[in-house]
Amino acid sequence: MSAFPKDFLWGGAVAAHQFEGGWSADGKGISIADVMTAGDNQTKRRITDGVQPGENYPNHDAIDFYHRYKDDVELFSELGLKCFRTSIAWSRIFPKGDEEQPNEKGLQFYDDLFDDLLAHHIEPVITLSHFEMPYHLVQAYGGWRNRKLIGFFVKFAKVVFDRYKDKVKYWMTFNEINNQVGMLNEWSLFTNSGLIIHPGENKEQAMFQAAHYEAVASALAVQIGHTINSDFKIGCMVAMGPVYPATPNPNDVFKAERMMQTNYYLADVQVKGHYPAFLEHYFARRQFNLDITLEDRDVLLAGKVDYIGFSYYASHVIKAADEEPTDFITLGSNQEIKNTTLHRSDWGWEIDPVGLRYALNWFSDRYDVPLFIVENGLGAFDKVEENGSIHDDYRIDYLRQHIEQMKLAVEVDGVKLMGYTPWGIIDLVSAGTGQMEKRYGVIYVDKDDQGKGTLARSKKDSFDWFHKVIQSNGEDLT
């Protein structure tokens, strides 16, 4: 008998801006992903002032799913996916973000895609905002530092909830909404909230204000969605990377715990409907004077999510500073150290399967809602053999070890788990580096970091292995 229920959602995950391409097709507007250049392990992606001639923007064409989705859905069906997580590109529906009427051609694309998925018995799992808000909202309103964006997002959510109310059951509001908290850097502030920090501006204050408006927008969307279809399951989505103390020193232990509290406060807000006490005190001590109204607080309480969706790739080890502040909060300048007990990926990410079980237990203990692992995977270099085969045993090993820990969390620990959608089920553009050669998929796409290739799809060894896992409902991991 399987540890997982019969309706367990085995799937794969992507994001519109990382695989659709068609960046200006059929009335789509410029998104924030469309102004991010290519990078690599040593070179950071740059954010340009609009789309500039001569720059390399890998998200513009990506893997051209926009024009190839029927063939790709056939592959997903052959793989045996029960669900497919993607996002609706906001700027396909509202090209600038502040229009009165949506773009019908954009809406029709997702109608056609969802119809095709459902015809293949694949449930769409849809994120509303996945690092791809309309760039015009940055230029004209300053991104999520502006309360007006709540209204724009809620209109977008209502339009797509209404349009797809009979086609999509599973939704999430903001992808990895907490990235900006843990990173507090140019990339995360821009991709999460469309924030470009002005000279002299307090970036912590700007981030917390933007995140608050996003949390309010999420809560309003949840309420509207449940009104449109009471069967909707609407979740939040957070990036989970457990934080371990470097030593048994109580300061290290407390530092690790405070980082967990801070990194996941937005789960508190979206699941429990209110801010944690320590953070309210932090805001007051720092004199942030955030725009958090009594009405906002009522909205947060009334718009709690149905489940927690989360990404899991790596864990972290933290050491308290010699002069650690009394609140143990040092956003953007925490002393992370290498975990010498773990191996690392080609991109330096620590591989910690047990950390996934830890994460599931941490969430389960803290929140009484179902959990959904909506991203997990290994970014690696893949070699295509002369006969076209791709032997990615390293990816199979990675997924196997994480599924084993996932099973223990369900079977031994009693965690309520809805599903598992490994990230980048088909090769796509990396969000962090803009690379194609940082590959996650079980389906290979012939395209390199210079944008060269045929875009032909082919199966890696991991394709057949994951098919077997799904067919056995997680029992056959050999």
Question: What pLDDT, on the 0 to 100 scale, is given for residue 40?
Answer: 85
- What is the value of pTM for the model shown? 0.98
Q: What is the mean pLDDT of residues 399-422?
A: 98
**CA nearest to 463, candidates 445, 478, 443, 446:** 443
Residue-level pLDDT at 235: 98
For residue 72, being part of any structural domain is answered with yes
Q: What is the pLDDT of residues 64-101, one digit of tens each?
A: 999 999 999 999 999 999 999 999 999 999 999 999 99
With beta carbons less than 8 A apart as the criterion, state whether 213 and 285 touch. no
Does residue 476 fall inside a structural domain?
no
Catalytic residue list: 375
2, part of any domain: no
Residue found by looking up tokens 């969000």 in the block: 431
Under the banding of pLDDT at 50, 70 and 90, the label for residue 41 is confident
DSSP per-residue string spanning 320-383: --TT--TT---TT--EEE--TTS-B-TTS-B--HHHHHHHHHHHHHH--S-EEEEE----B---
CATH of the domain at 291: 3.20.20.80
DSSP string, 141-200: H-GGGSTHHHHHHHHHHHHHHHHTTTT--EEEEETTTTHHHHH-SHHHHHHHH---PPTT
Instruction: Locate 366 and state its tokens.
Output: 């803290």
What does the block give as tokens for 188?
Answer: 């995360």
Those residues with Cβ within 8 angstroms of residue 478's Cβ, 6 or more apart along the chain or in another chain: 468
At 3 the pLDDT is: 87
pLDDT tens digits for 150-181? 999 999 999 999 999 999 999 999 999 999 99
What pLDDT does residue 1 have? Answer: 67
Q: How many whole angstroms separate alpha carbon 475 and alpha carbon 478?
A: 9
Cα dihedral 323, 327, 329, 330, rounded to 10, equals -30
φ and ψ at residue 316, rounded to 5 degrees: -140, 155
Residue 1 belongs to some domain of the structure: no
Mean pLDDT of 283-308: 98
When pLDDT is averaged across residues 316-339 and rounded to a whole number, the result is: 95
What's the total number of domains in the chain?
1
Structural domain contains residue 81:
yes
End-to-end Cα separation, the chain, in angstroms: 17
User: Which one-letter amino acid corresponds to residue 319?
Assistant: K
Residue 230, CA atoms < 13 Å, CB-side half-sphere: 0
| Separation between Cα atoms, residue 84 and residue 122, nearest integer Å | 7
- Asked if residue 372 belongs to a domain, the reply is yes
- Judged against a pLDDT cut of 80, whether residue 230 lies above it is answered with yes
Using alpha carbons, list the distances in angstroms from residue 36 to 39, 46, 105, 354, 433. 9, 6, 25, 34, 10
What was the pLDDT predicted at 375?
Answer: 98
Which segments of 373-423 does DSSP mark as H helices, in order? 393-411
CA-to-CA distance for 441 and 426, rounded, in angstroms? 4
Kindly state whether residue 46 falls inside one of the protein's structural domains. Answer: yes
Domain-located, residue 25: yes
CB-based contact 127:11 (threshold 8 Å): no
Confirm if 235 and 172 have CB atoms less than 8 A apart: yes
- The angle, 0 to 180 degrees and rounded to 10, between the axes of the packed helices 461-471 and 393-411 is 20
**Which domain, by its residues, includes 124?**
7-470
- pLDDT band, residue 149 (cuts 50/70/90): very high
- Asked if 22 contacts 64 with a C-beta cutoff of 8 angstroms, the reply is yes
* pLDDT (0 to 100) of residue 42: 83
pLDDT band at 62 (very low <50, low <70, confident <90, very high): very high
Burial class (CB in 10 A: 0-12, 13-18, 19+), 226: middle
